[in-house]
Structure 1
Amino acid sequence: MAVAIILLLVAVGSVLFHLFSPWWWTPIATNWSYIDDTITITFWITGAVFFAVIAFMAYCVFRFHHKEGRQAAYNPENKKLEWWLTIATAIGVAAMLAPGLVVWHQFVTVPADATEIEVMGQQWRWSFRLPGKDGRMGTSDVRNISSDNPLGLNPDDPHGQDDVVIESGDLHLPIGKPVKVLLRSVDVLHDFYVPEFRAKMDMVPGMVTYFWMTPIRTGTFDVLCAELCGIAHAQMRARVIVEEESEYHAWLEKQQTFAESSGRSAVVRARYKSGGEQEMPLRR
């Protein structure tokens, strides 16, 4: 009897702790409330199954506990029960998967008016690239990566000359504008994750993955790496600043383009070489 009561208390306490827990999601800052809805549906279904299984265990412990003279009955199979369990399990799994499939379709279907930006992950920092005045980002190749060209932009692509490259700085985004986030990694698996955005994706070396979102709230949000990527994984941080469109464009005007930064690098290299001094890497 005591064991059955303890099992029921564990089940009820676990559900109540989840419902009234002070640790919950951060307030959402993008259009992806569908992610929260899908997780909530999953919690309700798995929570109901958890409680039902524990309650059934408690019932069995109480109903079939040992008594003098009682013998256990051996019943190797029950077709009716197996069918009911199969049908109920199939319905529960479908109820969890169906909303996720709908949301995933929306997640990878990028609006036509979305602006492309790029995020580069490497041990252990973030770099960002934004399109310039032409609204298009140039091509890139890992073979072009160097100290002067950390994102590997193609120097012969005219669309990349006005691209804005941000090394180890903050990413600024305008509020209310859809953004397609292109994700690349230089070395190992990373994962670009902003908890308030509810959107993230693995960054795989040799691939370009993506997701899209529309920021709906101004503010400063922490960027985390959600993939264990080495000893300094926990320190791989950056910030995303969502601001009004006028403030965003004012910030963007102050940033150096790829052509400006690469041209300045060339001047610095030439100055050091002509002066007989050792070439030093450019720092902004």
Structure 2
Amino acid sequence: MKFKKSTQILFAVALVLATGVAVYEGTIAPERQAAELQERQVFDFEVDRVTSLTVETPDRTLQFDRLPPEEDSTEFRWQFQVLEASDQSEIQKTPIPAKEAYVSFLSDALVNANSDRILSVAASELGEYGLDEPQAEIEVKLDDETIHQIQLGKRDFSESLVYAIADLPAEETTARSVLLVSTNLENSVNRSLSEWQSDREETPAPVVSPTPFKTSEPADTDANEIEVIPESEASPTPTNSEEIEATETIEEPLESTQTPEIETTEPTPQPEELENSESPSKPSTTSDSESDLE
């Protein structure tokens, strides 16, 4: 089956258009989106380059310093100091272990900060955006000693973005570039002092008390403890002279309770009793003769 020439031309045009769309969506569009995102990005550095952070709020000023990771770990540790505080009791120049999750959240919020819009605002009008007295100021120090800053003002009418100024110019200008950034930056610094402190505590080594030496002296016994001993329990075994005396007292009643053996002997008959016992056995001859004569 042969197609008309016009049909072949339309088919070729459609093929070219489909190829062009595929190339645009696969290569050109991502590059353009990346370029736009790059233009909107507030800072251009990686999170692993951050070595120090300083957070200044109306309540206090905190300085966070990065520490090397522990053995068998790739995550950095953080500690912080309280440089200034409205409550003087909070000032702490001795480093305190920081909660790494919150410091990482702040670092990621800075690296990923994007500006939704950029406004040109006169210096005299910064108060309308809350930037004449910022609610927070963050200073970032990188591994090459480069320093970046950002000031946070109040939220916009939608309550989803915050007005901010990044990397203030060295010289005063009549107009400032005001950015609209995510509220993640605001949330990452609005924390109490206790929230910044790490929950992890070092477990103290167990203290092993020395074993006391045993002595021959008997242990002292409280009188109250002796009184509450139940009668069913065995009495303590006496020792030395007490044992001997107790033994004698036990043996004596045993001897007294023994029944003496009684020997039963027949009484020896007296001579009179013998005569009386023998006389009935012999018949009287005199009485017999007298009866015969009669």
TM-score relative to the length of structure 1: 0.27
TM-score relative to the length of structure 2: 0.26
Between 1 and 2, higher relative CO (CA 8 Å, sep ≥ 6) is seen in 1
